[in-house]
Amino acid sequence: MNGVELRNVTKAYAGLTVMENINLQIADGDFLVLLGPSGCGKSTLLNMIAGLEPTTGGSIHINGRDVTGLEPDERDIAMVFQSYALYPTMSVRRNIGFGLKMRGMAKGEIEKRVAEVGELLQITPLLDRKPSQLSGGQQQRVAIGRALVREPSVFLFDEPLSNLDAKLRADMRIELKRLHERLGRTIVYVTHDQIEAMTLATKVVVLDKGSIQQVDTPENVYRRPANRFVASFVGAPTMNFIDGKLTHDGDDIVFDSGSGCLPLINVPAEIRDLIGRPMTLGARPEHMVFDDAGISSRVLLAEPTGPDQYVRLAVAGSELTARSGPEQIFKSGSDARILVDGARMTLFDPQSGQALLGS
Ligand code: ADP
Ligand code: MG
């Protein structure tokens, strides 16, 4: 298969296993994002694909070739790091072309490729500057240029935007997405930033403590989290979790937390099979609906963000966050009625944390 494949990859540092039996297929042309909290093993996984870190067990295949024992420069990959690691004494032009020169490529071909990459990244006017004469975003572009110029079949990025300020990060995100759409090359991209993952990825791999939690499209990772870890890691403000059980209230189904019953609307038929079983209800702030048919709650605080406001509520023995439009006024201490959109909520097994039904 073209693309990248990890088969039963294991990694231990000094006898301590940090990743076990990782199996992953990255299709040719995918923009695959490895997402997870600090220390979950993202860089370790990427470095094993790059050949910078040996695997302890299993094998890695790039475009159908077993590269497990090969050096980084034999793997047809190029990597971009968080630190740009540009050569300070060399011009941008030489920084970008240096790798090609080391491989003995003809001068004319190097010049042609550097010029093309310069155009693509819109850094042609900067080619004769030194790195110290560039902004952070421009330096990052040069680092990307150095990877592009090698024309590898797979690009590996380790948190490449983390050193940039928020505005520049958003701009570079768009550029990276365009670049991927234009080049169609396989990208494996590491980040702890869920917004980057959601906006860039064709496929997201959520990692926790060295193990894969879910491999899915960004939409599905958000809408159909496989377990409670994924549900809480992705989405801000975070999903609300309430322990309790589904029960009947006349013809309706409600969620009983033990201290109050949350009314549900749009309840899918399959949910009837789960009535009475202990579980955790997961509802994102936008799955909470202000409605006169809802349960009474007390407004603790309203947090306007511009287009929306997030309203913190004391309800059914819990503190929950609900999203509202900007117009309505929520005074602290006042009463608001709230219910849950049953079509979009997720239900979790309280012990394993696994999602019980997709929603
Ligand atoms: P991430 O990139 O997701 O923040 P890493 O891949 O850097 O995480 O680290 C994963 C785990 O492996 C962590 O528990 C980390 O402490 C451990 N680790 C990483 N590098 C080394 C190393 N060189 N020696 C020992 N343990 C390491
Ligand atoms: Mg890392």
Domain ranges (residues) in the chain: 3-226, 240-357
End-to-end CA distance of the chain: 33
Q: Are 139 and 130 in contact (CB under 8 A)?
A: no
The structural architecture, per CATH, of the domain 3-226 is 3-Layer(aba) Sandwich (3.40)
| In CATH, 240-357 is 2.40.50.140 | yes
* Positions of the chain with pLDDT lower than 50, given as ranges: 359
pLDDT at residue 359 in the model: 43
Q: Are 345 and 268 in contact (CB under 8 A)?
A: no
Single out the residue of 92, 88, 195 nearest to residue 132, CA to CA: 88
pLDDT at residue 167 in the model: 87
Calculate Rg over the CA atoms of the chain. 25
Q: Are 232 and 238 in contact (CB under 8 A)?
A: yes
pLDDT at residue 266 in the model: 96
pLDDT at residue 358 in the model: 52
Atom in ligand 1 nearest the alpha carbon of residue 158:
2
The C-alpha atoms of residue 326 and residue 200 are separated, in whole angstroms, by: 28
CA of 210, nearest ligand number: 1
How many angstroms separate the most distant Cα atoms in the chain?
A: 81
CA of 83, nearest ligand number: 2
φ, ψ (nearest 5 deg) of residue 23: -120, 125
Residue 154: CB atoms within 10 A of its CB come to 24
Residue spans of alpha helices (H) in 103-200: 107-120, 136-148, 166-183, 194-200
How far away, in angstroms, is 118 Cα from ligand 1 center?
35
The C-alpha atoms of residue 183 and residue 56 are separated, in whole angstroms, by: 33
Protein residue whose Cα sits closest to atom 13 of ligand 1: 39
Protein residue whose Cα sits closest to atom 15 of ligand 1: 39
Q: What is the pTM of this model?
A: 0.94
Protein residue whose Cα sits closest to atom 22 of ligand 1: 13
Alpha carbon of residue 322 to chain centroid: 23
Element (H or E) spanning 211, and its range?
A: strand 211-216
Q: Are 9 and 22 in contact (CB under 8 A)?
A: yes
pLDDT digits (tens, 9 = 90+) for 90-129: 999 999 999 999 999 999 999 999 999 999 888 999 999 9
The SS3 of residue 126 is helix
Residue 141: CB atoms within 10 A of its CB come to 24
Protein residue whose Cα sits closest to atom 14 of ligand 1: 39
The C-alpha atoms of residue 84 and residue 95 are separated, in whole angstroms, by: 11
Same fold, 3-226 and 240-357: no
**Which letter, b or e, does each residue of 272-302 get, where b requires 16 or more Cβ atoms within 10 Å of its Cβ?**
eeeeeeebbbbbbbbbbbbeeebbebebbeb
Q: Enter the tokens of residue 301.
A: 């605080």
pLDDT at residue 357 in the model: 74
| Lining residues, ligand 1, CB within 6 Å | 13, 18, 36, 38-44
